[in-house]
Amino acid sequence: MARLGDPPNYSTPRTLGLSAVCLLAALAHFTLGAFDYDRVDRYLGLGGMLLGGLLLVYGVLSVIRYAEAHDAMTDPLPRAPMYDTPHQRMTLLVGVGLNVLGLLVCLAWAVAGTLPLWHLAAGALNLWGAGLAWSARPRQGES
């Protein structure tokens, strides 16, 4: 359990890395979905680009939370532990889910698409993002 004045969980460099990896993976999904869109399956392409949009939103929101957490750490009169709420754990689990789904989409594209090495590279970004989100989540007794 966090105590009054403890640094928030979102203030770690791991959260900043997670947001950067999610933003890079989103760009990879958009780009590869556009290049392979007409060559394989329209719905797989649309799903991949939609997933890229969700990863983009998640990455931007993670950057915002990181900035808010650093701003809260300089608050001279902290009133409550920052982000000691149930959503803290769920937010990072959503990051795991989005990145695992991105990995599965990349593997499907690598099998069916025309740019398999690029899709595998994008899948590696998603695997890295899932690992960062999993390791950044607060443990059971912490949130």
Cβ atoms of 17 and 132 within 8 Å: the answer is yes
Annotated domain spans of the chain? 13-136
pTM recorded for the entire structure: 0.84
Mean pLDDT of the chain: 82
| Residue 138, both tokens | 């607060």
Per-residue pLDDT tens digits for 21-74: 999 999 999 888 888 777 777 787 788 889 999 999 999 999 998 888 777 777
Question: In this model, does residue 142 exceed pLDDT 90?
Answer: no
Residue that is written with structure tokens 């929101």 in the block:
61
What phi-psi label fits residue 83: left (phi over 0), alpha (psi between -120 and 50 degrees) or beta? left
Which has the higher per-residue pLDDT, 26 or 9? 26
Q: Identify the pLDDT of residue 38.
A: 72
CA distance 130 to 20: 12
